[in-house]
Amino acid sequence: MSDFFNSGWSMAIAVVTVTGLLACLALLIVAARRRVMAQDNTTGHVWDEDLRELNNPLPRWWMWLFVLTVVFSGAYLALYPGLGSSPGTLAWTSLSQHQDEQARAREATKPLFEAFAKLSGPDLARNPRAMAIGERLFANNCANCHGADARGSKGFPNLTDNDWLYGGTLEKIEETISNGREGAMPPMAAAVGSAQDVRNVANYVLSLSGAPEDPMAAQFGRSKFVVCSACHGPEGKGNQALGAPNLTDKIWLHGWGEAAVVSMITNGKRSVMPEHASRLTPQQIHVLAGYVWSLSNVSSP
């Protein structure tokens, strides 16, 4: 009902609903009245020569069931939302019920998570129960973007390769999960120079990781890279304080090759990871962070 522009719509729907219930009772009263229509207790209608419609009253059990249905509907509308924008006397909402169920679940599992609260990353990784819980938390909250195997995809980081934009310690991973991240590279073409200058810088960036590049263009782009070094560092090894990627490690989050790098320099890029502190407790985040930490620090058996 919150989509309505004014209270008139809410009032109209409430009136129609109440009128409908009263009309049901009126219909029942009218139908319950027995009217003599013929001396042989029929309505006077005959089909197939000998099939006659009897004029019997409605069964009492059916009448009372109908009345109870209307009474139940009235009571329901008084207690729960249904009459326009009225919240009902219980003020119930699906959101509040969901939040209450979450609160009860968190309270029930609180002792379990508290047992893991002070464990370090390696200790969590060695605890099968913590890892099983962390895996389930990951599947429910992270797998949509990073994949069920945590290897990510274009635009979504691989969490198993030990390449971290903001740092891969347990504390940093907890910080990332709790607060989210917003990475932004502004369009830099104007600062770099001409279109050829952008192409030259792209080739120089490719050369930093040993990717195939045009050596001559890369040589010319070296001096122009100073524009990029403010974030990526003079050697292109990135800056975790800013979330600036390491350009020397052959890991390309948004695609690789000259065209991809030119597009990045020209158009920039904005990436957002949502915060999870509003969805998970600090203890749950600690276990989830331990699981994520283990993906790039513990070898698979």
Residue-wise pLDDT tens digits, 58-107:
788 988 999 999 999 999 999 999 888 888 899 898 889 988 998 898 88
The C-alpha atoms of residue 7 and residue 163 are separated, in whole angstroms, by: 55
Torsion sign, CA atoms 103, 104, 109, 115: positive
46: left (phi over 0), alpha (psi -120 to 50) or beta: beta
Residue-wise pLDDT tens digits, 231-256:
999 999 999 999 999 999 989 999 88
Token duo for residue 105: 């679940």
Among 106, 156, 173, 139, which Cα is nearest to 271's? Answer: 156
Residue 300 pLDDT > 60: no
Three-class secondary structure of residue 89 per DSSP: coil
Among 24, 26, 32, which Cα is nearest to 59's? Answer: 32
- The pTM for the full model equals 0.72
Could you tell me which residues are beta bridge partners of residue 147? none
Q: CA angle at residue 156 from 201 to 296, to 5 degrees?
A: 100
| Furthest CA-CA distance within the chain | 112
The C-alpha atoms of residue 122 and residue 73 are separated, in whole angstroms, by: 58
- Number of Cβ atoms within 10 Å of the Cβ of 178: 16
Q: Are 287 and 117 a contacting pair, CB within 8 Å? A: no
Token duo for residue 185: 């590279």
The pLDDT mean for the chain works out to: 89
Among 258, 273, 267, 264, which Cα is nearest to 232's? Answer: 264
The DSSP bridge pattern shows strands 42-47 and 51-54 to be antiparallel
Q: Which has the higher per-residue pLDDT, 91 or 55?
A: 91
